[in-house]
Every structure is written in C-alpha cells, then in structure tokens.
Chain A
C-alpha cells in the first residue's frame, strides 16, 4: 500500500483542465491574500497624489517590471519598443496620478490599462503585421474596461498565460510541420542542426522550412487582420 502511494506520489495522474488551471492560479491567489495588505501601496498612492515624487517613483519601480514583461513585451514583440512604451506609460502616470481612484486592488490594474493604451497607439503607428495586431489589443482593452480589476500578480500571470495561448493558437492554424519547426527552433531554442536532424532534413533545407513556416504564420496573421477582427474571433466566425 505504501509502495502504491509512493508510486502515485512520484507519478501523479494528470490533472483535469480545471484543476490544472486552478493549481497555476493558487500560488498567486495565496500570495495575494497573504501578502499584502495593500495598505502601504494605498498610502504611497495618497502621497504620490499629493506630489511626493519619491512615493510615485517607488510605485513605478515596483510595478514597472510586470508591465514590461506581461503587458508590453508580448504585445509589442520587441524589447526596444517595449522599453519605449514603458517610458511613455511612466510619463502618462506621472501626469495622471491625480486622476487615479483607489478601488481596493492596488494601482496595477490602472497602470496596466495605461500601458495597454500606449501599446495600442504604438501598434497603430507601426502599420505592419506583427504577432499581436492592434485589433487583438483593442478588443483586450474593451474587455479589461468591463472586467472587475483583480490583484496585480494574478493579472500578470493571466496576461502571460494569454500570450502563450495566443502563440499556441497561431501555431495550430498553420501546417503542423511548420508549427513544429517554429516550436523546436524558436520556442525551445534548439540548435539549427539538431532541429534539422529531428525533422529529417539537412540544415539548409531546414532554413527553407523555417522561412516557409514564418511566411505561413505571417499570412495567417495578416488574413486575420484584414478581416478587421482578432484572429481567434475570425477563425471562429464571431461577429
């Protein structure tokens, strides 16, 4: 019996999807509950709204990395653009901190909305197909405005998961061999020669395969954009 329990412990059965989702959320929820007491942050906001720049600086230093990693970098797809967007976000926060109203969940949801609007402006100005289209982000913003704000860490985790899901969904729409090439070479960062071996081609042929894979992905993203709606919605035929 002990042996079977040990085996079950060592090789747990796969979790059902809802449990897997909850298990990934749980640490964040626990941390949100246990941690903090958002009172220090609320006081920092009050001080910042009274003109205390050090307090405002602490808020930005504290939340900026999550804005960069979870909101800006996945949506803009470039470190330089994400840094520019973060700088612009900070500038807007400095201008508008007086307009912020405390809602009991901290300042992060408000900062995230500003960052998303900045990212949307940048995507609109860019005028070319990248991974995250302006339509995708505009509909995300609409949803975010309707949703009840939640804890910062939970929001950041949700954003990162959504980005990974978006990658998965995009790869599911192209030829599986193309998707495999992208997964192995780009997402898993395996060496070119190794990926070529795994796919049963020469390295030079793999270069062509990867080029075709990215061209197919671009075409897919471009088609979704031309339809004027997020690619996932377009695929489902949503209005």
Chain B
C-alpha cells in the first residue's frame, strides 16, 4: 500500500538493484558520515536534518568566548611607540666628537645634552597578541563552496602582523617605519 507521500509516480523502487554509480555514491556517503571533514552534500543534508530534529547545546566556554570577542575585551594593542621615540632621541656620538673640545664647558654642555636625551623609561605595556578566531576579520558571510584562498590570505596576513608585533614587543623596539 502506498502512503500519502507525494512523488510516487516518477520514483524508482527503493529496493531496486543499485547501479555502479549508486554503489560508489553510497560508499562515499558512508565515509562522509563517518568523517565530517569529507565534503559530501548528502552527508551535509543528513547532519542538517539531525541538527534540526535534535539541536545540540552550545558549550558555556564557547559562548563566553564569542561574547568576549564581540565585546572586544582583548586589551588594547600597545606598540612600543615610546621606545621608538626614545631611540630617535638618542645622542649621536659623531656630534659629540665634533664638539670634541676639551673644555669643561663643552663637556658640561654635552653632558647636559646627553642627560636630556637619555632614554626615557618605557611607559607602554607590551601585551602579546593571543591566538584567537579569525571571525572578526570577516564581516561578510563566507560561502561554503568555491575557492577560499583570499580568506586564507587574509588570515595569514593578520597572523603574520600579530607575530611581527609580538617580536617587536619582546625586543623592545618599535614598528619599522
């Protein structure tokens, strides 16, 4: 007896012998259901049906991380601008030598110049970047198919920038000009 479902007319018998192509597709589906990283549209549909029927909960830690990211609780990025300024003010020994008379006045003047231009204490606190999600880099929805190289490039570029700044912070030097 046929049920009340639609589409009976153009449908093949569910238990009809499979074609080679169907056997391959069934095997691919089985593998994709076991391994969610394998792309397979039927497996994706299967997961979507399962999640619609019995959605899972979000872990509190994941939720708190997403909230923290949205509120941008990461400490403000402080790059050693003070250090860079300090380096720019360091005395040049050539100028010191050029003024190189032996007079006490000159030495005193040079000493004064040296004192005023001495390195200032570093006021800024260097806070290394922490590993984090790439989601804030993308405001637009990301298509699940097609080339993703532009996205990867942007992630790689942002991470390279973070690494560079961490190194500058550790070495107590400013950003290159």
* Nearest-CB residue, chain B, relative to A56: B71
Q: From the candidates B3, B23, B41, name the one contacting A208 in the complex (CB within 8 A).
A: B23
Q: From the candidates A69, A86, A212, name the one contacting B66 in the complex (CB within 8 A).
A: A86
Say if the beta carbon of A20 comes within 8 Å of chain B.
Answer: no
Interface residues of A in 156-213 (CB under 8 A from B): 160, 163-164, 166-167, 170, 172-179, 182, 186-187, 192, 201, 204-205, 207-213
B1-44 CB mask vs A (1 if < 8 Å, else 0) is 00111111001101100100011011101100000000001101
- Most chain B Cβ neighbours within 10 Å, of A76, A172, A211: A211
- Given A60-B70, A74-B55, A210-B26, the answer on whether A125 and B5 have CB atoms closer than 8 Å is no
Q: Is the CB of B52 within 8 A of A167?
A: yes
| Residue numbers in A under 8 Å from B54 (CB-CB) | 187
A209-227 CB mask vs B (1 if < 8 Å, else 0) is 1111111111011000000
Say if the beta carbon of A26 comes within 8 Å of chain B.
Answer: no
Say if the beta carbon of B45 comes within 8 Å of chain A.
Answer: yes
User: A208 CA to B69 CA in the complex, in Å?
Assistant: 44
| Residue numbers in B under 8 Å from A132 (CB-CB) | 48, 52
Q: Is the CB of A217 within 8 A of B51?
A: no
Say if the beta carbon of B92 comes within 8 Å of chain A.
Answer: no
Binding site of B, secondary structure by majority: helix, strand, loop or mixed? helix
Say if the beta carbon of A78 comes within 8 Å of chain B.
Answer: yes
| Residue numbers in B under 8 Å from A86 (CB-CB) | 58, 63, 66
Q: From the candidates B5, B44, B57, B143, name the one contacting A65 in the complex (CB within 8 A).
A: B57
Q: From the candidates B6, B18, B22, B29, name the one contacting A235 in the complex (CB within 8 A).
A: B6
CB distance from A132 to the nearest CB of B (A): 7
Interface size on B, residues (CB 8 A): 55
Q: Is the CB of A87 within 8 A of B49?
A: no
A53-71 CB mask vs B (1 if < 8 Å, else 0) is 1001100110011001110
| Residue numbers in B under 8 Å from A64 (CB-CB) | 58, 63, 66-67
A124-161 CB mask vs B (1 if < 8 Å, else 0) is 11111111100000000000000000000000000010
Q: Is the CB of B14 within 8 A of A209?
A: yes
Say if the beta carbon of B47 comes within 8 Å of chain A.
Answer: yes
Q: Is the CB of B5 within 8 A of A172?
A: yes
Q: From the candidates B14, B69, B144, name the one contacting A126 in the complex (CB within 8 A).
A: B144
Say if the beta carbon of A46 comes within 8 Å of chain B.
Answer: no
Q: Is the CB of A61 within 8 A of B143?
A: no
Say if the beta carbon of A83 comes within 8 Å of chain B.
Answer: yes
| Residue numbers in A under 8 Å from B149 (CB-CB) | none
| Residue numbers in B under 8 Å from A213 (CB-CB) | 14
Q: Is the CB of A208 within 8 A of B56?
A: no
Say if the beta carbon of A90 comes within 8 Å of chain B.
Answer: yes
User: A128 CA to B146 CA in the complex, in Å?
Assistant: 12
Q: Is the CB of B52 within 8 A of A186?
A: no
| Residue numbers in B under 8 Å from A69 (CB-CB) | 55-58
Say if the beta carbon of B64 comes within 8 Å of chain A.
Answer: yes
* Nearest-CB residue, chain B, relative to A124: B141
Give 6 A-B pairs besides A68-B58, A130-B48, A175-B8 with Cβ atoms closer than 8 angstroms.
A77-B48, A125-B140, A132-B48, A167-B53, A205-B15, A216-B7
What 3 A-B pairs come out closest when comparing CB atoms? A77-B48, A90-B70, A125-B141
Q: Name A residues whose Cβ lies closer than 8 Å to a Cβ of B.
A: 53, 56-57, 60-61, 64-65, 68-70, 73-79, 81, 83-84, 86-88, 90-91, 93-94, 121-122, 124-132, 160, 163-164, 166-167, 170, 172-179, 182, 186-187, 192, 201, 204-205, 207-218, 220-221, 235
Could you jot down 10 A-B contacts, CB within 8 Å? A64-B63, A74-B51, A121-B141, A132-B48, A173-B7, A201-B15, A205-B18, A208-B26, A210-B26, A215-B42
